[in-house]
Every structure is written in C-alpha cells, then in structure tokens.
Amino acid sequence: MLRPFLYEQIFSRLGSRLPQEQAEQRVALVASQIIGLIVSRYIIDLEPLVSMEDQQVIELVAPTIQRYLTGELPALNH
C-alpha cells in the first residue's frame, strides 16, 4: 500500500523533473536515502538520529540527496 503511494505521488513526480537519462537511478538513490532515514530515525529509534534536531539531520543528509539529484553519477550498466 505504501509503495504505490510513494511511487505515484512522490518519486514519479521527482523523476519527471530530472533528465531522463539517469532519472530512474537518481530517484532510486534518493528513495533509498529517505526510506533508510525514516526507518532508522522513526522505526528502530537509532541514536543519535532520534535525538538530533530536524535542522541538523537536514544539514547532514541534504548534500547527499543533492548529489544524487544533480551531481555526477558513474555510468551505470543495465
């Protein structure tokens, strides 16, 4: 139930704004980062993520997400 919602409402919209050449790979990388963060912070209560201020988490994670969206990615073989 969660997968179709995430894909249709979030990840497909994100992918439509990226260059088509690597959009699928970029969206998958962003999804892995976001889902991993959610699981770590809110489901398994992994410290120190749980205790960090939201802004601190954003500052730490944002550069990685930005790189996934707009940075150089190695050529991927399918």
pLDDT per position as a tens digit, 12-71: 777 777 777 788 888 889 889 988 999 999 999 999 999 999 999 999 999 999 999 998
Q: Mark residue 76 as left, alpha or beta (left: phi above 0; alpha: psi -120 to 50; beta: remaining).
A: beta
Question: Which pTM does this prediction carry?
Answer: 0.78
Domain ranges of the chain: 21-67
One-letter identity of residue 25: Q
CA 7 to chain centre: 12
| Confidence band of 76 (pLDDT split at 50, 70, 90) | low
String of b and e for 33-69 (b: at least 16 CB within 10 Å)? Answer: eeeebeeebeeeeeeebeeeeeeeeeeeeeeebeebe
